[in-house]
Structure 1
Amino acid sequence: MKSFLRKSLIVLVSILTFGTVTPSHALWSENDDAPRAQHRGDSSNETAQKPIFESQIQVEEKSHKEKFIEVMTDEAERQSLIKFGPKISNVIKDEFQEIILPNIEEAIEMTAAQFPDDELVNLAITEMPGGGVSEKIFNIYHAETKQDVIRFHVRREKPPLEGYRFNFHYHTYHDQFQTHYTIGTIQWNKNTPPNWQTV
């Protein structure tokens, strides 16, 4: 009976696909010879399987770092929108997500690359963006040492005759947060922007 069902299934697949899909030899055989062939020491099979296995290990090692970057980027976006407050967010949110956030993600990726995977669990993000006219958006810090690793800021600028703009940048611990690394700029308008976190 089992043999009859198997053969019926094969015929049905062939009919439904107009013969374009041909069932593998393993389906025709009741003894499932295909799995045994792999255990007979077929060297070409082992060679073909080894790179796949190694690449799977590399993907697993990489996925932890990628997950860290994804979580940090999501939190970076959340903290940024809290800092902007509704009044500013309603105006610049789309531009921020298209232009600035990918660059923040790149800076987070660069930071993550400096640490081994097992150290990434010790990196955390601050949860209190600065209000008023403070530049601070968020910092990524080492939870055990409480030392900042990278600080993300946004500064209000008003070049002559150009109106206000927001300059997004970051600083790193490598030079005691002295160097200003620009992420991008979003133009506001000629009116003074409201304070950060203004509802």
Structure 2
Amino acid sequence: MSTLEVLILSSNYQARRKIQAGQTERAILAAATELSRERSFEKISVREICQHAGITTGAFYHHFKSKSELLQKGFTSLDLYMEDVLHGHENDEPTQRLRLILSAYADFMENLGFELVSRYYSQRLDCPTFQSITPNRFIFQSLFSCIQEACSGRDPLPGYPPKWVSDFLFRHFRGVVIDWIINRGTYSLSDKLQQDYVLFQKIFQP
């Protein structure tokens, strides 16, 4: 076997391993999500999550050091979810993409359920150095791209550039999620964000 063939096989193997790892992590998160709808996340054991996901505890600890890390890393799948949702919509009007982002964001949170999302935010307060939303995250970049493109080079609001407005909007929408948690998921998060979108889309008007 030539060196090139060995490199190709190695590359294919690593690609398959990466895909498998992603699938396992999503299965673990899905299991934790389903179980948390039945009772508190704190009362769910790692063993139960593994049984529900159809994996060994060894596989769990290969991906996550603890349930706490599962909660932190689990939200990184939001970016993967967003990528899937936006795939094929790259050429849509920016306002349409923005609406799709908000719908997907709400769907993702509601699928997790308010109890699991509230645990995530509680953990964030206990670990202030952990950053869930940074400028390089896919969801923030997608939001920024929509606003920048929709405004065609002008500031969305006088004196406020697209990046500032993107950060402001995301802080607002995250605040809506926290209000939804406080109200224990008693209203539709998707409907609420869509109502807010109708108001905020006025910033795109020249």
TM-score under structure 2 normalisation? 0.25
Larger radius of gyration: 1
Relative CO higher for 1 or 2, CA cutoff 8 Å, sep ≥ 6? Answer: 2
Q: Which has the higher strand share?
A: 1
Q: Which has the higher helix share?
A: 2
